Structure 1
Amino acid sequence: MLSLPDTDLIQIAVVAFNQISPFHLSVPSVVFGEALQGEPVFALKVCSADNDLCLTTSAGYSLVLQYDLQPLKQAQIIIVPSWRNPNERPPEALLAALNKAYQRGATIVGLCLGAYVLAEAGLLTGRKATTHWAYADDFSVRYPEVQLNADILYVEYQGIMTSAGTAAGIDCCLQMLRQQLGADRANRVARRLVVPPHRQGGQRQYIDRPLPTNAQDNRLNALLAWVRSDLSAEYSIDYLANKALMSRRTFTRHFRAATGTTFGNWLLHQRLGLCQQLLERTDQPIESIASHAGFGSVVSMRQHFRQVFGVSPTVWRQTFRV
């Protein structure tokens, strides 16, 4: 495998601590490290937030680390994958390091209960954030100045990202990977991890029935696959409800229960995802891509693309062309 000096790689610091959950620690490690086989892009360093390089885990075994908080001084991305106890204030040295890193332009990420650490550092004051839904009430009471939305998977706001618990941390890390390397490589990593390539940040954390359990849901599942097969066509809720043998009200209810969002929002992100792929993998002109993805005009595609991804389709192509 090609070996590059650390200075040529994107520096990522992951904060570990005593009694850390091995799963939470593994999420950024596997997304930014192991899953990019043969594609060295990131220099990932796991750092101890405690005054010891030998840490305990919640699984009953120990970890021996190489780094204290020193790498946080140079890292472009700093990830706090969780926190051991919402009632415990994190070490002052960690809070100070996070503030200094943010002030110099680093992206700061709090996965799951890592949002508590960012809030204690004052980084979420007046900003949008999320955390594990089960801790939403407690978080809101502790940090009323934070614009908490506990119904979503992850949120990015002014250089800070927070996510819900467990699997949402993977979604959040894949979103960061998508921003750094483009949709194509992020999708390849998702395939290696056998997870969905892109779950929207605004999707609900907790869905009562995420999997088809009856004939109506099976029809809905097949219908969504059919829509994805031809995103250039126009679709109305009434037409799709009729095709699924449901009333409009039943279709709308089942769709939100299955996806956590509205049909219009789901369809928009399916179309934008197709635009990403075509921009990265083909030489098709923007006009052709807009038509193929079902946007009524190039102007509409550009507006939605810039609103969601922060750049124009042309800049995305120049950055992530395969």
Structure 2
Amino acid sequence: MHTVAVLALDHVVAADLATPVEVFGRVRLADGSRPYRVAVCAPAPKVAGEAFTIVAPHDLSALREAGTIVVPGCSEGAAPPPAEVFDALRAAAAAGTRIASICAGAFTLAAAGLLDGLRATTHWAAAGLLARSFPRVEVDPGVLYVDNGQILTSAGAAAGLDLCLHLVRRDFGSAVAAASARLSVVPLEREGGQAQFVPHTPPAVPRGSSLEPVLAWIEENLAGEVTLARLARRAGMGERTFSRRFREQTGTTPLQWLLLARVRRAQLLLESTDEGVERVAARAGFGSAAAFRDRFRRVAGVTPTAYRSAFGDCRSRST
């Protein structure tokens, strides 16, 4: 039997902790047998969550006996884990144990040095902090999970479910994993990555900036013809000067800002209306539905139709 040790640290996120316990605990093989034994362990007998306290039935010695270790995330502001946690994780990694993190659990793995030189992910909102805090880690904020073989990381809480099902499939095949997915009422594979969940808002400019009136005009005229020459004239500058000032104040080019603003407008329309893709493309200012689909997928990671299915107002879809 394969032991999965779930490491509970103070201020552990409840969903991150429960996901591996439930997924691995419910897996059944074709003969009805349980292939996994789940052991919740902690450096101290009691673990304080945000709204609960649990008594962990196992101490850190469970990490030595595990075939897989799952490290859930902890709430923002949680104190660093004690040194013995990092020592136990490093020892397990050296012994070849498979180690996976859910959401902010990637910070624990990174602090232990287990992500150095590896590609990794975490919740999109924390990806920048992870990259700044651990420059030796190649942070990819756009995916649901990263499988490096022995070391795996996943994004936010729901992506932890994706990762656990992926591990079940690695261990026992697609049929067993698909049955586990059905128990959790989720697809075995979700379309797209984290990009579809990230608010894609064009970069802001400082209040009082000379560009503020121009950017407001762009927002009001996204469906019309917006050219560099027209924007420069409105700003009272030459095109080269306008482009330079624009990059200085927004960190991007006028074209990239415009395209992102149009994608954001399209997202809002897909979320709140039942208009067809062609109509959404036109209202957002794209020259064709094909160009719209291509740009939307580049930014959001999914098709406009898939985005609407995930985030559209159910009232508009039912009318």
Q: Do they fold alike, i.e. is TM over 0.5?
A: yes
* Cα distance in 2 for residues equivalent to 1:73 and 1:219: 58
Contact 1:130 1:148 in 2 (8 A): yes
With over 3 angstroms needed to count, the CA separation of the structure-2 counterparts of 1:203 and 1:20, relative to structure 1, is closer
Paired position in structure 1 for 2:316: none
SS of corresponding position for 1:93: helix
* Cα distance in 2 for residues equivalent to 1:219 and 1:253: 16
2:26 to 28, 31, 34: 34
With over 3 angstroms needed to count, the CA separation of the structure-2 counterparts of 1:65 and 1:252, relative to structure 1, is same
Residue 218 (structure 1) shift = 11
Deviation track 1:12-43 (CA, whole Å, cap 9, x = no partner) reads: 10000222222111110111003549430001
Paired position in structure 2 for 1:288: none
Paired position in structure 1 for 2:290: 248
Deviation track 1:132-176 (CA, whole Å, cap 9, x = no partner) reads: 111122111110111011121110114100111111111111111
With over 3 angstroms needed to count, the CA separation of the structure-2 counterparts of 1:83 and 1:66, relative to structure 1, is same
With over 3 angstroms needed to count, the CA separation of the structure-2 counterparts of 1:203 and 1:132, relative to structure 1, is closer
With over 3 angstroms needed to count, the CA separation of the structure-2 counterparts of 1:205 and 1:74, relative to structure 1, is farther
Structure of higher CA gyration radius: 2
1:156 to 126, 130, 147: 147
Deviation track 1:241-274 (CA, whole Å, cap 9, x = no partner) reads: xxxxx6311232455577x2589xxxxxxxxxxx
Residue 217 (structure 1) shift = 5.3
With over 3 angstroms needed to count, the CA separation of the structure-2 counterparts of 1:86 and 1:143, relative to structure 1, is farther
Contact 1:17 1:48 in 2 (8 A): yes
Paired position in structure 2 for 1:12: 4
* Cα distance in 2 for residues equivalent to 1:186 and 1:218: 38
- Equivalenced residue count is 226
* Cα distance in 2 for residues equivalent to 1:87 and 1:65: 18
Contact 1:129 1:162 in 2 (8 A): yes
Task: Establish whether residue 45 from structure 1 lines up as the match of residue 39 from structure 2.
Answer: yes
Contact 2:68 2:98 in 1 (8 A): yes
* Cα distance in 1 for residues equivalent to 2:299 and 2:77: 30
* Cα distance in 2 for residues equivalent to 1:201 and 1:190: 17
Taking the TM superposition and a 5 Å limit, the aligned residue runs for 1:1-322 are 9-34=1-26, 36=28, 38-49=32-43, 51=44, 53-59=45-51, 61-85=52-76, 88-199=79-190, 204=195, 206-207=197-198, 209=267, 213-216=273-276, 247-255=289-297, 260-261=301-302
What amino acid maps onto 2:275 in structure 1? A
* Cα distance in 2 for residues equivalent to 1:253 and 1:70: 50
Residue 93 (structure 1) shift = 0.8
With over 3 angstroms needed to count, the CA separation of the structure-2 counterparts of 1:189 and 1:256, relative to structure 1, is farther
* Cα distance in 1 for residues equivalent to 2:84 and 2:141: 28
Residue 10 (structure 1) shift = 0.7
What amino acid maps onto 1:43 in structure 2? R
Paired position in structure 1 for 2:206: none
Residue 55 (structure 1) shift = 2.0
Deviation track 1:78-102 (CA, whole Å, cap 9, x = no partner) reads: 0001124467332111111111111
Residue 219 (structure 1) shift = 11
* RMSD across aligned positions (CA): 2.8
SS of corresponding position for 2:197: coil
TM-score by length of 1: 0.63
What are structure 2's unaligned runs of at least 5 residues?
A: 200-266, 281-287, 305-319
SS of corresponding position for 2:7: strand
